[in-house]
Amino acid sequence: AQSVTQPDIHITVSEGASLELRCNYSYGATPYLFWYVQSPGQGLQLLLKYFSGDTLVQGIKGFEAEFKRSQSSFNLRKPSVHWSDAAEYFCAVGFPKAAGNKLTFGGGTRVLVKP
Amino acid sequence: NAGVTQTPKFQVLKTGQSMTLQCAQDMNHNSMYWYRQDPGMGLRLIYYSASEGTTDKGEVPNGYNVSRLNKREFSLRLESAAPSQTSVYFCASSQRDSRDQPQHFGDGTRLSIL
What residues of chain B have any CB closer than 8 angstroms to a CB in chain A? 4, 31, 33, 35, 40-45, 48-50, 56, 58, 90, 92, 94-96, 98-108
> Hey, are the CB atoms on B103 and A101 less than 8 Å from each other?
yes
- Contact between B13 and B114 under an 8 Å Cβ cutoff? The reply is yes
- Contact between B72 and B26 under an 8 Å Cβ cutoff? The reply is yes
Q: Which of B1, B99, B105, B110 to mutate: most A Cβ within 10 Å? A: B99
Residue A66 CB neighbours (<10 A): 16
* Tens-place pLDDT, residues B88-101: 999 999 886 556 67
> Hey, are the CB atoms on A44 and B105 less than 8 Å from each other?
yes
Rounded to whole angstroms, the Cα distance separating A51 from A63 reads 17
Work out the minimum CA distance from A80 to partner chain B, whole angstroms: 26
B35, B42, B49 member nearest A107 (Cβ): B42
Residue A4 CB neighbours (<10 A): 22
Q: What integer best gives the mean pLDDT of chain B?
A: 91
How far, CA to CA in Å, does B91 sit from each of A7, A21, A84, B61, B96?
26, 25, 25, 14, 15
How far, CA to CA in Å, does B37 sit from each of A44, A66, B45, B57, B104?
11, 26, 9, 17, 15
Q: Which of A44, A46, A91 to mutate: most B Cβ within 10 Å? A: A44
> Hey, are the CB atoms on B43 and A41 less than 8 Å from each other?
no
Rounded to whole angstroms, the Cα distance separating B67 from A73 reads 36
Strands A109-114, A10-14: pairing is parallel
CA terminus-to-terminus distance, chain A? 41
Q: Which of B31, B49, B89, B100 to mutate: most A Cβ within 10 Å? A: B100
Q: What is the dihedral of CA A69, A74, A77, A82, to 10 degrees?
A: 170
Rounded to whole angstroms, the Cα distance separating A109 from A107 reads 7
A43, A49, A90 member nearest B42 (Cβ): A90
Fill in the amino acid letter for A47. Answer: L
Tens digit of each residue's pLDDT, chain A (115 residues): 678 999 999 999 999 999 999 999 988 777 889 999 999 888 899 999 998 888 999 999 999 999 999 999 999 999 999 999 999 999 998 876 666 667 889 999 999 999 9
